[in-house]
Amino acid sequence: MLAADVASDTSLNSVIEFLTAMITPALLISATGSLVLSTSTRLGRVVDRVRALELRIGELIYAEDKDAIPLYERRVEVVVDLIDKVTTRSRLLQRAMTTFYYGLMCFILTSVSIAVVGIFNVYRWVPIPVGVVGIMFLFYGSLLMLRETRMATATINEEMDFTWELARKVAPKDVAVKYDKKGRVKGYNGPKVSNTLGGE
């Protein structure tokens, strides 16, 4: 009777350990799935941004009266530079998403290998390197996302700087003198601004 109880407890412990081992990759699978979803959403927004910039550059190129557009050459330069940055961001996001999918595949394979090891009790070391490879994919994908986030910040800053430059160009002088180049309220030291909203 006592031997049967001990055998039963040992069997129960083995089942609990087995289920615990299976849960860990499931948590990593869930986390990686969230990263894939957020990366996919960001990629969709970047693609929409590229299309919007394409329309803007098209409007500028085919404008009939280019002289009537304030800061025309600077505007074209900024839009082209933004297109370059946003295109680079989209490539980074594609690479990050691919990396996360590889990590997801490794975590699923880790879960499957744990099940196989638990059933056949062979090659008990296999799930460890597979799981480590998945974690490395996750780490590399996170580095790519960090780089993309920094580029997104640089893109926003460049666009805001140009917006302030344009605002100072077309705004009345008594309004423009209140702000500096970055939009902070200070004395204005830039070029003269005409008194009309149409610029000089």
Percentage of the chain beyond pLDDT 90 is 42
Please state the three-class secondary structure of 73-103 as a single string: HHHHHHHHHHHHHHHHHHHHHHHHHHHHHHH
pLDDT in tens, 144-187: 999 999 999 999 988 888 888 887 777 777 766 666 655 555 54
Find the CATH number of the domain harbouring 29.
1.20.1260
DSSP secondary structure string for all residues of 135-163: HHHHHHHHHHHHHHHHHHHHHHHHHHHHH
Whether 134 maps to a domain, the answer reads yes
Whether 180 maps to a domain, the answer reads no
pLDDT in tens, 123-150: 888 888 998 999 999 999 999 999 999 9
pLDDT in tens, 59-85: 998 888 888 888 888 889 999 999 999
Whether 76 maps to a domain, the answer reads yes
**Look-up: residue for tokens 């100072």?**
168
Count of domains in the chain?
1
Q: Nearest 5°: phi and psi at 114?
A: -65, -40
Whether 36 maps to a domain, the answer reads yes
Q: In the structure encoding, which two tokens stand for residue 175, read together? A: 């309004």
How many degrees, rounded to 5, is the angle at CA 122 between CA 118 and CA 128?
75
Whether 13 maps to a domain, the answer reads no
Computed over every residue of the chain, the mean pLDDT equals 81
Q: Which domain holds residue 130?
A: 21-171
Whether 43 maps to a domain, the answer reads yes
Amino acid 35: pLDDT:
93
Whether 56 maps to a domain, the answer reads yes
Whether 192 maps to a domain, the answer reads no
CA distance 120 to 39: 38
